[in-house]
Structure 1
Amino acid sequence: MSTHSGPRAAGGQPSFSLFFFSDDRERSKEASYHLVLEAAKFADAEGFDSIWVPERHFNKFGALYPNPSVLAAGISTVTENVGIRAGSVVVPLHHPVRVAEEWAMVDNLSRGRVGIAAASGWSPGDTFLSDADFGRRREETFERVDTVRRLWRGERADVRTPRARREDGEEEVLRTTYPRPVQPELPTWIATVGTRETWVRAGECGHHILTALVATTLDDIADHVRAYRAARAGNGHAPDAGRVTMMIHTFLGPSDAEVRATVHEPLVQYIETHINQAGGHQDAPDAAGKRNLAEFAFERYYTRNGLFGTPETALPVVDRLLAAGVDEIACLIDFGVEDEAVLQGLPYISMLRKATLERHGGGRR
């Protein structure tokens, strides 16, 4: 029987999770999901909070992850206790009924261990999968998540999409979805990297937050957390019941030199992929310029925006994250390092987790 108790209150112990986001598996087609499943088993046995799997479409970057509910169902069969979360569901691409139905199935398979982070989407090209209005994607995200939560509770809800609701004269359509989930309430996060308005809206609606150190600083995060908790308090939600989850690139090992040598080339190539995705405009750098830019960015990632090195050198970074108001450290581990090296590094993340609990186990501060 599962012992997973869902998201903790922010005043409790800090938690660690494993996060998947980007790998394409071209180098190991015969065992595409080996790393995910083996890491899930490890997290389950070692007392990690959750496994996060994303939704990505039409790009090698994250090509393994077109449907998080399918992968989550697989994870549920090899684990007993660890939380299983979508990080994220691109909500505007889906009808709310389908989201509620699919994740209720996984909630039953996992005996009540699921949660979802809702994202508004990144590419206009993805929206041909649905009737979403890309220009309204943030509003549609909040509207559709609200419908999903109502359906999850067993309430009858207006299940017309936002676009359909704007059409004059259409009759109201109400539905109840099946199967019924195990959890009475669906734990929901809103994925955002830096927009204060989104943090505040999430707080007003009673959602948790999934964020990352992308084009932002920890000082910014701390300000956003304060605004988020104030918004929760101002709208009848317990401020400390909201969880702030930080996705952060992670690889730990026995020495800094060994870790740096292991992650350097995969992380540089990972950054180059980001640069290529953002390219195509007149001022885009050439190949040599992209490599130089990626090398420069590597140093920033390695020293400031990730958990790299040893458990001892990473612990001060965790301290700063917790001081900024982060409750959960979601360690992104699939950025191109070979599977076996990633798996061999997981015990060091577990060491960091235990050291963090020893230091902060009495509370987040």
Structure 2
Amino acid sequence: MTDRPDPRTAGGEPSFSLFFFSDDRERSKEAGYHLVLEAAKFADAEGFDSIWVPERHFNKFGAPYPNPAVLAAGIATVTERVGIRAGSVVVPLHHPVRIAEEWAMVDNLSRGRVGIAAASGWSPGDFFLSDADYGRRREETFERIDTVRALWRGGPVDVRTPGAREGAGEQLLRTTYPRPVQPELPTWIATVGTRETWVRAGECGYHVLTALVATTLDDIAGHVRAYREARARSGHAPEAGRVTMMIHTFLGPSETEVRATVHEPLVQYIETHISQASGHPNAPDAAGKRSLAEFAFERYYTHNGLFGTPETALPVVDRLLAAGVDEIACLIDFGVEDEAVLQGLPYIGMLRKSALERHGEGSGD
């Protein structure tokens, strides 16, 4: 990977983005993708780094997002400068050609503003969409994203899927079209846990997309150190690697108002995660799920998100940056009503400006 700095994040300043991941559009069908597009316009006008959109399948949780490239194309038509990124493409579910073609189209629509995070997937039920082996999904991710990037550069590339490259058979060399605007595809590896994945991302010269899920900032700081050391060992500039942290965010004029606004949506959000374990023999019943979710809410609200006012959230930003995070990707669609989310965006803008004043170029830090 070429260590070419992203023009939207170069200069050493902390960057802020908006992230979509989990919302259930069933509750407001008439709204369509209004929240995404209006948030994208806000981010574009206010100097945010990027908009991130995910890939989700077969679940009401994340239902609006089966194809990030399609949504990214829509964002490209209503914005001028903000980065447009997939957070993430579940790479083993797709042929590398399709990924390269679709995102090259969006790169053209946006005049060179796309990037993608590559995820390995987690649900075995999703993998009937692909010929990939679920047990090899992490290896498939790195193999297929390497092919995507080779196609992006112009090929020709052997476009048989990685598993088909073993054994006999002629190469199938192809070049994909349209040709993208960017000579290199900015690429992140999505991971929420294992040090091994961080190290491999560093060795390959990729960026990293992560989240505060079942981990701590101390863990993240250790992962970041290992990641940058791996980049250096492999000949990649250590500080050129971007560490992007997805974090649930809602800010407003007062702590009391914010807490009242996010309490029920966030509890339901946590309950949904607990429900994903409902097939386990020791899974809690409905009352147990609610009790666990209420207990988890306190920890999540206090330690795992950006909640409150711009003033109370700034120390959390300080800790994220101290842990080695370069980009704070504010996840805003976890169940709060759309209009409340949009009304809260200017407060995220205030937090961004305060962070730039404290940590940006010329701050003296």
Alpha-carbon spacing, 1:154–1:71, altered in 2? closer, same or farther (3 Å): same
Alpha-carbon spacing, 1:158–1:7, altered in 2? closer, same or farther (3 Å): farther
3-state SS of paired residue (1:118): strand
Q: Is the contact between residue 307 and residue 314 of structure 1 (CA under 8 Å) also seen in structure 2?
A: yes
3-state SS of paired residue (2:78): coil
Report the alpha carbon displacement of residue 174 of structure 1 after superposing the two structures with TM.
Answer: 1.3
- Letter of the structure 2 residue corresponding to residue 110 of structure 1: S
Q: What is residue 285 of structure 2 aligned with on the other side?
A: 286
Q: What is residue 65 of structure 2 aligned with on the other side?
A: 65
Q: What is residue 340 of structure 2 aligned with on the other side?
A: 341
Alpha-carbon spacing, 1:146–1:6, altered in 2? closer, same or farther (3 Å): farther
Deviations 1:150-186 (A, max 9, x none): 11011222211122123x3121111111000000100
Aligned residues: 360
- Letter of the structure 2 residue corresponding to residue 277 of structure 1: Q
For residues 263 and 220 of structure 1, the distance between their equivalents in structure 2, rounded to whole angstroms, comes to 27
Are 1:318 and 2:294 counterparts? no
For residues 232 and 159 of structure 1, the distance between their equivalents in structure 2, rounded to whole angstroms, comes to 28
3-state SS of paired residue (2:276): helix
TM-score of the two chains, using structure 1 as the length reference? 0.97
Deviations 1:266-302 (A, max 9, x none): 0000000000012211111111110010001111110
Q: What is residue 277 of structure 1 aligned with on the other side?
A: 276
Deviations 1:86-129 (A, max 9, x none): 00000000000100000000000000000000000011111111
For residues 7 and 179 of structure 2, the distance between their equivalents in structure 1, rounded to whole angstroms, comes to 18
Q: What is residue 85 of structure 1 aligned with on the other side?
A: 85
Report the alpha carbon displacement of residue 6 of structure 1 after superposing the two structures with TM.
Answer: 4.2
For residues 156 and 172 of structure 2, the distance between their equivalents in structure 1, rounded to whole angstroms, comes to 9
Q: What is residue 101 of structure 1 aligned with on the other side?
A: 101
Are 1:14 and 2:44 counterparts? no
Q: What is residue 202 of structure 2 aligned with on the other side?
A: 203
Q: Identity of paired residues, percent?
A: 87
Report the alpha carbon displacement of residue 363 of structure 1 after superposing the two structures with TM.
Answer: 7.7
Structure 2: gaps of 5 or more residues: none
Report the alpha carbon displacement of residue 26 of structure 1 after superposing the two structures with TM.
Answer: 1.0
For residues 362 and 220 of structure 2, the distance between their equivalents in structure 1, rounded to whole angstroms, comes to 19
Q: What is residue 139 of structure 1 aligned with on the other side?
A: 139
Residues 295-310 of structure 1 mapped to structure 2, 5 A cutoff: 295-310=294-309
Q: Is the contact between residue 96 and residue 148 of structure 1 (CA under 8 Å) also seen in structure 2?
A: yes
- Letter of the structure 1 residue corresponding to residue 108 of structure 2: N
For residues 330 and 145 of structure 2, the distance between their equivalents in structure 1, rounded to whole angstroms, comes to 25
Report the alpha carbon displacement of residue 354 of structure 1 after superposing the two structures with TM.
Answer: 0.1
Report the alpha carbon displacement of residue 341 of structure 1 after superposing the two structures with TM.
Answer: 0.2
For residues 94 and 234 of structure 1, the distance between their equivalents in structure 2, rounded to whole angstroms, comes to 31
Alpha-carbon spacing, 1:276–1:6, altered in 2? closer, same or farther (3 Å): farther
Alpha-carbon spacing, 1:7–1:156, altered in 2? closer, same or farther (3 Å): farther
Structure 1: gaps of 5 or more residues: none
- Letter of the structure 1 residue corresponding to residue 104 of structure 2: A
Residues 83-232 of structure 1 mapped to structure 2, 5 A cutoff: 83-166=83-166, 168-232=167-231
Alpha-carbon spacing, 1:132–1:7, altered in 2? closer, same or farther (3 Å): farther
For residues 175 and 304 of structure 1, the distance between their equivalents in structure 2, rounded to whole angstroms, comes to 49
Alpha-carbon spacing, 1:282–1:139, altered in 2? closer, same or farther (3 Å): same
- Letter of the structure 1 residue corresponding to residue 9 of structure 2: R
Are 1:32 and 2:32 counterparts? yes
TM-score of the two chains, using structure 2 as the length reference? 0.97
Q: Is the contact between residue 6 and residue 113 of structure 1 (CA under 8 Å) also seen in structure 2?
A: no
Report the alpha carbon displacement of residue 27 of structure 1 after superposing the two structures with TM.
Answer: 1.5
Report the alpha carbon displacement of residue 359 of structure 1 after superposing the two structures with TM.
Answer: 0.1
Report the alpha carbon displacement of residue 8 of structure 1 after superposing the two structures with TM.
Answer: 3.0
